[in-house]
């Protein structure tokens, strides 16, 4: 049975994010300027070019540039200054009240999809266009007019709809339901459009001359960009990414998700983590993940799955009477990192809290999207 990409992503995100009692809390970072208490995050990115980022449902909502972590969220869009830790909303429109219900065009509540950082801003998808957003500007980079019979049939309302962006060094991969093209962010040149799949692509990453992707049937393929042919590698797979020349992915066995790595020359795979939820993330020699059998517990382990250590995040807010509101961690978190930095961010998309950890550590600094830094 065919499924629609956006619908599917929305459902998976809802499943991933779980339920919340806090749905009516709106975070407006711009209103909290007086509360800003900068602490030194002092996170520096090494020779930032463009983030190396796969298309992976858990990585669509955050990206890390040379100066900022950007988060697009149902609570409001904000960025965190990597030096000072100061949090601010995207919106800098003069006179905007930043009200989620009444401020038409407020950038804090605009739906930016599949964001990827670049110098001074980020790329994102808006329906059938790729756009670049910065403090000064918001411009169309690419407007898609391409479709195949597949898109005409399964996306009849908008057959030119784009699915996501992925990046590999300076190359942006623009991904439609069954095809992709590239945009060289340096030379500003586009490639021809290339069909790689019969059905909708669900995750994608790039290593050398190969594109690895999964589709709506959870099949894993490698597409050789020189021979222009796809080869099936495995089944029941999703959430691919590349780290240090190895392919990582989630594969289900009897309903249980495992994290695997695959050596790309021998195609030999190794089972690393049992009950690893889809939102794993790799930074250097560490893997961060939530365990599905012990719901919501967060762990960091070695790159081979060894030595798992629990990360216990906590955050207390106070209500208007000054009474503490205990932190409910019964939810799935978003993990964000970049090859350019030695930090990982654990983002609570429902409460507007970000935890910043140095790679390998279980200690963290807490950043609240209201603009208050707690330690
Ligand atoms: Zn606004």
83 and 40 in contact (C-beta within 8 Å)?
yes
Distance from the alpha carbon of residue 51 to the mean position of ligand 1, in angstroms: 27
Contact 115, 122 (CB under 8 A): yes
User: How remote is the CA of residue 91 from the centroid of ligand 1, in Å?
Assistant: 5
Compute the distance from residue 31 Cα to the ligand 1 centre, in Å: 10
Q: Which residues pair with 343 in a beta bridge?
A: 358
Residue 204 φ/ψ, nearest 5 degrees: -160, 140
Q: Going by C-beta distance under 8 Å and a sequence separation of 6 or more, which residues neighbour residue 101?
A: none
Give the Å distance between the CA of 364 and the centre of ligand 1: 30
Distance 106 CA to ligand 1 centre (A): 4
Residues facing 265 on adjacent strands:
none
Q: For residues 294 and 311, is the Cβ–Cβ distance under 8 A? A: no
Reported pTM: 0.89
Partner residues linked to 78 by β-bridges: 71, 89
Q: How many Å lie between the centroid of ligand 1 and the Cα of residue 97?
A: 6
Domains and CATH numbers, the chain: 5-368 (2.120.10.30)
Distance 103 CA to ligand 1 centre (A): 7
- The strand pairing partners of 190, in sequence order, are 183
Q: What stretches in the chain show pLDDT beneath 70?
A: 1-39, 369-375
Could you identify the residue written with the tokens 């350019």?
340
First to last CA, the chain: 49
State residue 331's pLDDT score: 86
Give residue 134 CA to ligand 1 midpoint distance, Å: 15
In angstroms, what is the span from residue 108 Cα to ligand 1's centroid? 6
CB atoms within 10 A of CB 322: 6
Distance 7 CA to ligand 1 centre (A): 27
Query: How far does residue 128's CA lie from ligand 1's centre (Å)?
Result: 24
Q: Which residues have CB under 8 Å from 188's CB, separation 6+? A: none
The token duo for 339 is 């090859």
Q: Quick one: tokens of 103?
A: 């401020």
- 89 CA distance to ligand 1 centroid (A)? 8
Report residue 258 as tokens.
Answer: 């495992």
Q: What separation in Å is there between the alpha carbon of 93 and the centre of ligand 1?
A: 6
3 state DSSP class of 319: coil
Could you tell me the distance, in angstroms and rounded to a whole number, from the CA of residue 36 to the centre of ligand 1?
A: 18
Confidence at residue 97, expressed as pLDDT on a 0 to 100 scale: 87
Q: Reading across the β-sheet that carries 365-368, which strands appear in turn?
A: 334-336, 343-348, 353-358, 365-368
CA of 137 to the centre of ligand 1 (A): 15
Residue 124 backbone dihedrals phi, psi, to 5 degrees: -155, 165
* pLDDT computed for residue 327 by the predictor: 85
Q: For 301-351, what is each residue's pLDDT tens digit?
A: 999 999 999 999 988 877 788 888 888 888 889 999 998 899 999 999 888
What pLDDT digit, counting tens, does each position of 241-254 carry?
Answer: 999 999 999 999 99
> How high is the pLDDT of residue 37?
57
């Amino acid at each position: 049975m065919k499924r629609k990409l956006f619908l599917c992503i929305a459902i998976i995100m809802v499943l991933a994010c779980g339920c919340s009692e806090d749905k009516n809390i709106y975070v407006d970072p711009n209103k909290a300027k007086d509360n800003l208490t900068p602490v030194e995050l002092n996170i520096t990115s090494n020779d930032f070019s463009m983030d190396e980022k796969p298309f992976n449902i858990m990585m669509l909502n955050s990206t890390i540039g040379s100066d900022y972590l950007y988060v697009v969220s149902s609570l409001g869009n904000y960025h965190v200054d990597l030096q000072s830790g100061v949090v601010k909303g995207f919106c800098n429109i003069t006179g905007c009240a930043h009200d989620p219900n009444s401020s038409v065009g407020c950038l804090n509540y605009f739906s930016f999809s599949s964001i990827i950082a670049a110098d001074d801003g980020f790329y994102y998808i808006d329906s059938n266009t790729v756009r670049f957003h910065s403090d000064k500007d918001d411009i169309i980079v690419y407007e898609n007019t391409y479709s195949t019979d597949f898109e005409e049939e399964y996306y009849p309302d908008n057959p030119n709809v784009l699915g996501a962006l992925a990046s590999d060094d300076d190359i942006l991969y623009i991904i439609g339901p069954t095809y992709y093209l590239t945009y060289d962010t340096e030379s500003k040149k586009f490639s021809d459009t290339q069909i790689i799949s019969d059905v909708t692509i669900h995750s994608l990453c790039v290593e050398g001359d190969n594109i690895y992707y999964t589709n709506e049937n959870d099949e894993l393929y490698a597409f050789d960009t020189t021979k222009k042919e796809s080869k099936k590698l495995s089944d029941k797979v999703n959430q691919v990414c590349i780290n240090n020349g190895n392919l990582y992915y989630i594969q289900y066995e009897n309903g249980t998700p495992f994290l695997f790595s695959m050596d790309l020359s021998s195609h030999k795979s190794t089972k690393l983590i049992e009950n690893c939820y889809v939102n794993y993330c790799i930074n250097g020699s560490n893997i961060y993940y939530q365990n599905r059998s012990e719901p919501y517990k967060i762990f960091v382990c070695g790159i081979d799955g060894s030595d798992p250590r629990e990360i216990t995040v906590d955050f207390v807010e106070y209500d208007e009477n000054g009474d503490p509101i205990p932190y409910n961690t019964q939810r799935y978190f978003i993990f964000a990192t970049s090859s350019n930095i030695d930090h990982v961010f654990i983002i609570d998309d429902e409460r507007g809290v970000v935890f910043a950890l140095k790679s390998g550590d279980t200690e963290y600094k807490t950043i609240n999207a209201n603009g208050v830094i707690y330690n």
